[in-house]
Structure 1
C-alpha cells in the first residue's frame, strides 16, 4: 500500500507542474487590481473576506463591514464602532460578523440596505462582559460558530450557547468538515459531539501560533504557523514540510492562506507578499510589492466564485486574476512596448521601444527581470532568425546578436525588418528607413552588400513580402509590385496598384500563409497570377474569414495558426491536426486597446507558451487553459431612486410581488447599474431599456447611471443587461414600477369629472329649457316691441321725409332766391355801369357852352341835362347791389368772420368785392373812396389776414 502511495505521489509530482501551470501560471504576472482605502472609504487593515450568492464581496475592515458589488463600495459599522475581524455568509445571505465584545449579523431590508442584528445581546450579562475578540466564524452542522480567545459561541434558532476555552484559544479551523481549535496548553482540539477532544501529539504546537490548516492527500494536514514555518501531520506525527514553500514562510512569516481549485495552496506572508504552491510545496507563483501588490503584508486571502484571488492587506485590498490564460511582463520586468519576440538557442528575445531584451527560457521559468543587450538602447523594431543568425532591426541599424550582445553592425541606417530572398540562397533583403538593402551570409558571417536602387522612400511598414518574382510593399494608398534585378542591385520595374479588385477598393494587408502571398481587402483574400498578370480571389481563404470582423492584419505562426487583428483587438483560428480551424476571439478581448497597432507581434513557441506584444509589455498566453473562466455575468439595478427617497440600495433586495408605486410628483427617477464582474471592470458595458418609454435597447456603454425626467403616469419596467470584456451578455434583470397619475388625472378625479359633467349637463339642460321658455316670452314681447319700433320708425322716416321734402323745397326756393340775387347783382352792376356812363355824359354836357345855342336848343339841352341828372339821382342800384352782394356771398362772409373775428364790416365788403374780382376803380366807386384808399384798405386787410407780400390775396380769399 505504501508502495502504491509512493507511486501516486511520484505521478502527481510529474503531472502537477504541467497541469497546474495551466491553472495558476508560473510565467509572468497575473492581472492585478489594487484598491486603496481612498476608494473603499474604510480603514487600512482588512482581516477577512467572503462572497454572497450574487457575487458581492465583503471585507472585515478596521472601520466595519465593507461591501463591493463591482461598481460601488458600501460601509456598515457595528453599534460600538469597533473593527470587524471575522465574517462568514450563510446560504440565506446573512452576513455574520465578529468584533471586540460584539458579534451578530447583517441582513438586507426590503430596500436592499444592510441592517445589523446583535447576537451578543442574547448572552446573559455575566458572559457578555467576557466575549473578547471574535477571530473566526464557521458554518458547521447547521450552527454558526463564533470563536474568541476565551469562548466559543454557538448560534442556532435564535439561541446562543457557549463553551469556555480550556485554557486560551488561539485560532480555529474547519477542514474536511471537521472543526479544530488550537489551545495554548492542550494543543489542537477537535470538536466532537458538543465536546472539545484533544488530539495526541499536537502539544508540539503550544509554542507556535497556527494561522491556517490545509488538507493534503492521504488524510494529511498542512499547518501554517506565524513564525515557525509549515508542518505536516497525519494525525500521529508532526514534521516540518521541507519544501520551497516552507523556506519562503520561514523567512517571511505566515498569516494563513487558502486553497484554490483544491490543487494549489496560497500562503500569505508578513514580509514578502504571497506565494502559490502546489500540493508538493513547489512554488508556482510569487507576488509582492515589487510585482504589483500595494503592500507586502497579506492579512487574509480568499478565492471567489470564479477562482480569482482577493487579498486583504495591512493597507488596502487587491484583486488578482488567477483564472486567466494571460499573464504579463510589464515595467517590473524592465520592458516597455513590444514589437517582436523570438526564441533562439534557449533564450527569449524581445524587441521593444527601449532596445532589445532577453530572458533565459527555462522550465520552470525563472521569475526575474529581462536584461537589455548592450548597444541596443534605441528603438528595436524587429528581432528575427535569418539563416540561423539572430538579427535585430533597430533605429541604430541592422545588428547581429550573438552571446547576448551586438557582435556586428551590418549597416548604420535604421531598419524595420528582414526577409529571405527566394532563389537566392544566403541572401536576404532589409527594409530600411529609406528603401531596401541586400545582405549576404558567407563563411565569414553576414555582410552588407548594397543598397537597392530605384526606390528610396520611407516605408515605415512591416507589410513587405517576397515571392519568386516580386517584392510586394504596401504603402498607403498604394501596393507596390517591384522586380529585383538578377544582381540584386536595383529594381528593374515598379508598378503601383491602388486596388486589387473591382468590387473592393484599396488593400488592407499583405501576408504569407502556407508559403503563399495573400492580399487582403475587407476579409477577401486575393493572390497574383503572373501568367494572367491579374489578381484572383482565393475563395477557400475568404470563406475561412467569412464570419470574422473586418481584419487589418493576419499572421501565420509556427504551428499554422492564423492570428488576425481587428478593431484594436485580436483573434485566432487554431489549426488542428486535420487542418481544420477553430475560431477564438473572446479570450483576447481583454487585450483590446493594449495591442501595438500595425505592429502586432505573436510568437508561438508551443500551445502552452504564446507571447503577444503589448504597448506596455509582453503577455504570455496558454491556449490549453480551459475557457470555463468565461462565464455569463450578472446584471443588477444597483439603485432606484427619485427625489427624497431611494427604493433600491445595492443588489440584495428580495424579489417581492409588491408593486412599487411612485407619486406623480416623483416622476424624475434615477437608476444605477452594477455587475459583480471583477475582471477588466473598465471594459464592462451596460445596455438598458425602460418599457414602454424606450422602443429599443440603448447602445452599449460603460456609463452605469441613467435618469428619466417628467415621466407620465403608467406602468414601467426598467430592464438592464451587462456585457463583460469577453463579449458575453448577461440575463436581463428588471424592476417594475408604477407612476401614479396627478390628482387631477386620477381615476377618482375622472369619476368626479364625470359626475360634474352629468350634473352640469342636467343643470344646463334645465336652464336651457327655462331659458327657452323665457326666450319665447321675451321673443313675443320683443316682436311686439320691434313691430312698434318699426311702425314708429316708419312714421319717423315719413316725417323726416316730409321734412326733407320741405327742406328740399326751401333749398330749391333759396337756390332760386340766390339765383335771383345773383341775377340782380348782375343787373345792378349793369345799372351801375349805366350810371357811370350817364355821369360821364353829365360831365361832358357841362363842358358844352350853352351860350352859343339858341333858346329852343338851350331849353331842350337843359331839359335833357335835368332829365339825366334826375335819372342818376333817383337810381338806388348801388344800395341794391350792396344788399345782393351780401346775400350771394353770405356763407363766405360767415366763414371769414369765424376765422378772423376782428375783421371789420368795411373789410368784409372789401373782401367780397375782391372775391368778385372787381377792379380797384370799381371798388373805389362802390365804396366811394379813391383808388389810393382802396390800395390802403387792401394793405390793411392783408395784414389782418396775416399774409406776406408774395401771397396772393384774392387766391387766399377764394380758398376760404
Structure 2
C-alpha cells in the first residue's frame, strides 16, 4: 500500500514538473485545445487556403483559391484579383498594404478614403519581356524595405516604383526569410542566398535536389530547421546539414510535410498532407497532435499561422481551422469516447470519469495525445458519481451501487444510486443515496459490502444535494431541505423536519455544501449554519462577507487544496486560497466554459494545481491553473462599417490615422453601424454594448448583435460609442465615432437669420402701415374726391376716345368706300378703254380688208397713215397695266394674307380673288380677264378647290373674311 502511494506521488511530481514547463510555454500535452472550424459555406470562398497573415487591427487574411479573404471575428469579406485567379501568397505590410500573388498577377490591396480595399496591380507595371512565363506567385517577403514576389521561374524585387528581376538558374522551388536573410531553393543549384543583389550558392545544399523544401524555420541565430516535402526534417547548423532524428521527423516522413511555423520560439507546428498537424518542442518531441479525428476538419494542412494572441490558424485543403492553443484549457470530447461528464476522480494512476454512457477510464501517466478513454465493462448506463473510499472505488450508477477493483465491477445493490457519503461518526460505514431512499455499506478487508437498506424515508428523488455531519443527514430536494436522523443501529431514519426557508427574510434554500467539514446552507450568497442547541439556522458572517461581491451562486464545493469552487449563471468561479488564508476570486479563465457545465452537477476534480478536471455536457475539460494568464487580453472593438443614404464607409480599414468627423445631410438622417471585435477564441461569448450620445444616456444591455441602426435623427452632433466584452468577461475600451446631422435648410442658422430679418422687416412694415393709415384717415375724403374726379375725367376721356375711334372708323369706312368707288370707276374706265380698243381693232381689221389695188396712191397713203395712227393709239394705251398696278397696291395686305394662308395659289388666281373681292360681275370678269363666261366659271371652280371650300361656303364671303 505504501509503495503504491509513493509511486503515485513520484508520478504526479514528474507530471507536475512537465506541466509547469508546458504551462509556461502555453502548449499542453493533455487533451485537445478548443478548435473552431470554418467551412467554405461560412467564408464563401474556395476550398484551399494557401497563406495567412494578420494586420495591426487584428483582422485575419487568407490567400484563397477564389481571392483574398478577410475575417474580423464577425464577418467575412472576399476580394478578387482582376483576372479572377487564385491567390497563393500574401503578406501584410507595415504601411497597411496587403500584398498578394496570383497567377500571372501580383500587387497589393489598399484601403481608399472610404475604407474599401482597392487592388493595385504591380504586374501591369512590368516591362513586356518581364511579363512572360511567370505563372503563380508562391511566396512574398518583406525584405530590407523591399517587397519580394517569387514564382517558380522568376523573382521580382520591388523597391517603391522600381523593380529588379531575378531569373531562376533552372527552376525555383520556394523562398524563405530566415533571420533577415533571403533564401531561394533552385531545382539544380540547391539553396541560394540573395546577397549583394545577386544569388549566391550555399554549399552542400544540392542534397535537396529532387525534393521540395517547404519551410526554413530559425530555431536560434545559427540553427535553422529545414522542412522538406518527403525527405523529412534537417538541421542546418554552422554550415552543416544533418537529419533531425526525432519523433517530429518520423511524423513528417510518414505523413509528408507542407511546411509549418514557430510558436513563441518554443514550439514548432508541422503541417502534413495526410495527418493534420503535430506540435513539437525544440527538441523534436511531439506534445500535441490535431487531425480529422482530433479537432481539425481536414487532414491536409496547406498553411499555418500564429496570430498576435499566440493562437494558431490553419489553412486547409478544404476549410479553415482556428486552434486556441494559448489557453490553460484543453478538452476530452467525443473523439476520446466521452459524452456528458458528471464526476471524475484519479485512482491508482488512472483517471476515472462517470458519464451518461457509463464509467470510463484512461491511464493517467500515459500519453493522452492519441489514446481514447475505455469503458469499464458492466457500467454502460447513467453514472452519477465516482468516489474513492480507501483502496476501493464506488460508482453510483443507474445499474446500482458498483464497486470497482482492478477495473473489475462488482454490483453491490441493484437499485439505482446517486452518491455516497462517509458517516463522520462511524468512518467504516458509508451512506448511499439511492432512487428510493438510503442504504448502508461497510468497508471490510475484502472490500465494500451492502449492510442494509434504511427504512423510514421513501421520497422519489430527482435533483438532490446531500451532506452528512455528526448528527444529521441533510438532503436537499428542491424546494425543501430534509433534516434526517439515523437510528443507532443504522437500520432506519427519522424525518425530524422539512425546512423551506432559512429565516423569514430568505424564503428559499438554494444549496447545501460542506466547507471545512461543516455543513453550510446558502441563499442569495448568504451562508447559514444550523445550531443543534437552539434548533435554528444562524448566519455565518465570514463566508457571507467572502461571497458578498460575487454574483448569486448555485452551489459551492471545497477542493483538497482548500479552494472554493462555485457555480453561477451556468458558469464557474474559484476563490483561491493563498498563503495568508485569504481568497483571490478568479472568474475570467472559466468564462469560456459558460453554457458547457452540467446543470446541478458541478464536477471539479483537483488533482493538483496543474491538473484540474471539470465535467462538461460534452466531455471533460483539463485546466492548468499555473499557466500564465497573459492570454487574457483586453479586447479591442472597431466600428467596421458606417452607412447612410448614398454612403458606405469601412471605418477600421481606412488608412487615415486621424479620427474623421462625418457631416451628414438631413435627408440621410437614417444611419447604420456594424462593429466587431477581432477576438477569435470563444467567439460565441463575445458581447457588445453601445449607446448613441446624446440620443441615449444608458448603455444597451450586452448582446451578440453586431449591427445597430438609428432612424429619423434630429440635427446635431452625435457620438456612437461601442464596447465589447470577451469570453473572459474583460471589457474593452470604448470606441467612438463622431458625426453630425446637418439641419434641414429651413432650420439652418442662415435660415434663422433670414427669419429674424423677415420678422424685423414685417414689424417695420406694420409700424409704417399703421402710421400711414393714420395719415391716410386725415385726408381720406380729399383722396376720395380726387378719385371721383379722376374717374369722371377718365370716363370723359374714354368717351372722347371712343368717339374719336368711331369717327376714325367712319373715316376709314368712307375712305374704303371711296377707294372701292374709285376702283370701280377705274375698272369701268378700263373696260371702256378696252371696248374702245376693241372698236379700234375692228376698224384696223376693216382697213386691212380694203383692196388697196383699187385705190390711188394718195388714198393708200391716207389709209395707211390712219391705220398706223389707230394702231399707235391702241398700243400706247397703258390704262390696263395701271389698273392692275393700282389694284395690287390697294389690296396688297389682302393678297399677302391670302398667299400666306394658301401658298399654292397662282398669280392668275390672286387676280381673280381680287376681282371677286371688288364684287365684279361675270360680265365684267369676262371683259377684264379677256375670257369667256364659261372660262370665268371654270376659274371660279378651280379657285374654290384651291381654297378647300365646300359647296355651301360663299367664295366672295370667304375672301372678304381674309
- Shorter-chain TM range is 0.7 to 0.9
Mapped to 2, the partners of 1:108 and 1:13 lie a distance apart of 51
Question: Could you say which residue in structure 2 is the equivalent of 1:347?
Answer: 350
Question: Could you say which residue in structure 1 is the equivalent of 2:419?
Answer: 417
Partner SS, residue 682 of structure 1:
helix
Partner SS, residue 530 of structure 2:
strand
Question: Could you say which residue in structure 1 is the equivalent of 2:94?
Answer: 91
Residues 168-218 of structure 1, C-alpha deviation per residue, up to 9 Å, x if partnerless? 211111112222111111211122222222111111111220001112357
How far off is 1:366 after superposition? 4.6
Out of 598-607 and 235-244, give the one that drifted further: 235-244
Question: So what's the TM-score if we normalise by structure 1?
Answer: 0.78
Residues 854-913 of structure 1, C-alpha deviation per residue, up to 9 Å, x if partnerless? xxxxxxxxxxxxxxxxxxxxxxxxxxxxxxxxxxxxxxxxxxxxxxxxxxxxxxxxxxxx
Mapped to 2, the partners of 1:185 and 1:477 lie a distance apart of 81
Contact 1:27–1:367 (8 Å) recurs in 2: no
1:167 maps onto 2:188 in alignment: no
The residue correspondences of 1:204-353 to structure 2 (distance < 5 A) are 204-217=207-220, 219-353=222-356
Question: Could you say which residue in structure 2 is the equivalent of 1:948?
Answer: none
Q: Which one of 489, 493, 496 corresponds to residue 494 of structure 1?
A: 496
Contact 2:116–2:649 (8 Å) recurs in 1: no
Mapped to 2, the partners of 1:202 and 1:586 lie a distance apart of 51
How far off is 1:704 after superposition? 0.9
Out of 693-702 and 339-348, give the one that drifted further: 693-702
Distance 1:609-1:779 versus aligned 2 partners, 3 A rule: farther
Q: Which one of 687, 698, 701 corresponds to residue 689 of structure 2?
A: 687
Question: Could you say which residue in structure 2 is the equivalent of 1:146?
Answer: 149
How far off is 1:427 after superposition? 1.1
The residue correspondences of 1:502-521 to structure 2 (distance < 5 A) are 502-521=504-523
Question: Could you say which residue in structure 2 is the equivalent of 1:554?
Answer: 556
How far off is 1:493 after superposition? 4.6
Distance 1:771-1:374 versus aligned 2 partners, 3 A rule: same
Residues 554-588 of structure 1, C-alpha deviation per residue, up to 9 Å, x if partnerless? 11112221100111110011223443322210010
Q: In the comparison of the two structures, how many residue pairs are matched?
A: 770
Segments of 5+ residues of structure 2 without an aligned counterpart are: 1-13, 785-962
Contact 1:387–1:426 (8 Å) recurs in 2: no
Mapped to 2, the partners of 1:647 and 1:683 lie a distance apart of 27
How far off is 1:403 after superposition? 2.5
Contact 2:439–2:454 (8 Å) recurs in 1: yes
Question: Could you say which residue in structure 2 is the equivalent of 1:648?
Answer: 650
Out of 435-444 and 248-257, give the one that drifted further: 435-444
Contact 2:261–2:268 (8 Å) recurs in 1: yes
Question: Could you say which residue in structure 1 is the equivalent of 2:372?
Answer: 369
Mapped to 2, the partners of 1:19 and 1:13 lie a distance apart of 10
How far off is 1:461 after superposition? 3.7
Partner SS, residue 544 of structure 2:
helix
RMSD: 2.1
Residues 664-707 of structure 1, C-alpha deviation per residue, up to 9 Å, x if partnerless? 11001111111111111111111111111111221111111111
Question: Could you say which residue in structure 2 is the equivalent of 1:531?
Answer: 533
Question: Could you say which residue in structure 1 is the equivalent of 2:62?
Answer: 59
How far off is 1:505 after superposition? 3.0
Distance 1:218-1:69 versus aligned 2 partners, 3 A rule: closer
Contact 2:357–2:380 (8 Å) recurs in 1: yes
Distance 1:208-1:602 versus aligned 2 partners, 3 A rule: same
1:729 maps onto 2:731 in alignment: yes
1:129 maps onto 2:141 in alignment: no
Question: Could you say which residue in structure 1 is the equivalent of 2:670?
Answer: 668
Contact 1:151–1:164 (8 Å) recurs in 2: yes
1:404 maps onto 2:418 in alignment: no
The residue correspondences of 1:835-854 to structure 2 (distance < 5 A) are none
Out of 387-396 and 298-307, give the one that drifted further: 387-396
Distance 1:587-1:662 versus aligned 2 partners, 3 A rule: same
Out of 208-217 and 526-535, give the one that drifted further: 526-535
Contact 1:416–1:460 (8 Å) recurs in 2: no
Mapped to 1, the partners of 2:22 and 2:551 lie a distance apart of 34
Partner SS, residue 661 of structure 1:
strand
Contact 2:660–2:738 (8 Å) recurs in 1: no
Distance 1:226-1:771 versus aligned 2 partners, 3 A rule: same
How far off is 1:21 after superposition? 5.2
Partner SS, residue 245 of structure 1:
helix
Mapped to 2, the partners of 1:767 and 1:459 lie a distance apart of 97
Residues 732-783 of structure 1, C-alpha deviation per residue, up to 9 Å, x if partnerless? 111111111112222232233333333333333333333333456669999x
Q: Which one of 555, 566, 569 corresponds to residue 568 of structure 2?
A: 566
Contact 1:20–1:263 (8 Å) recurs in 2: no
Mapped to 2, the partners of 1:334 and 1:645 lie a distance apart of 53
Mapped to 2, the partners of 1:503 and 1:762 lie a distance apart of 75
Partner SS, residue 426 of structure 2:
coil
Q: Which one of 191, 194, 205 corresponds to residue 194 of structure 2?
A: 191
Residues 303-330 of structure 1, C-alpha deviation per residue, up to 9 Å, x if partnerless? 0000000111111111111111111111
Mapped to 2, the partners of 1:736 and 1:63 lie a distance apart of 36
Residues 88-134 of structure 1, C-alpha deviation per residue, up to 9 Å, x if partnerless? 11112111111122211111111111111111233211112233321
Question: Could you say which residue in structure 1 is the equivalent of 2:634?
Answer: 632
Residues 581-600 of structure 1, C-alpha deviation per residue, up to 9 Å, x if partnerless? 22210010111111011101
Mapped to 2, the partners of 1:140 and 1:584 lie a distance apart of 45
Contact 2:487–2:493 (8 Å) recurs in 1: yes
Mapped to 1, the partners of 2:756 and 2:738 lie a distance apart of 31
Mapped to 2, the partners of 1:254 and 1:682 lie a distance apart of 33
Residues 610-629 of structure 1, C-alpha deviation per residue, up to 9 Å, x if partnerless? 10001111111111111111
Residues 635-691 of structure 1, C-alpha deviation per residue, up to 9 Å, x if partnerless? 111111112321335544524465311111100111111111111111111111111
Question: Could you say which residue in structure 1 is the equivalent of 2:456?
Answer: 454
Contact 2:23–2:626 (8 Å) recurs in 1: no
Mapped to 1, the partners of 2:741 and 2:536 lie a distance apart of 68
Mapped to 2, the partners of 1:188 and 1:232 lie a distance apart of 14
Distance 1:462-1:336 versus aligned 2 partners, 3 A rule: same
Distance 1:268-1:454 versus aligned 2 partners, 3 A rule: same
How far off is 1:460 after superposition? 2.8
Segments of 5+ residues of structure 1 without an aligned counterpart are: 1-11, 783-960
Mapped to 2, the partners of 1:465 and 1:13 lie a distance apart of 33
Question: Could you say which residue in structure 2 is the equivalent of 1:738?
Answer: 740
Question: Could you say which residue in structure 2 is the equivalent of 1:705?
Answer: 707
Partner SS, residue 254 of structure 2:
helix
Distance 1:106-1:455 versus aligned 2 partners, 3 A rule: same
How far off is 1:434 after superposition? 1.3
Q: Which one of 106, 110, 114 corresponds to residue 109 of structure 2?
A: 106
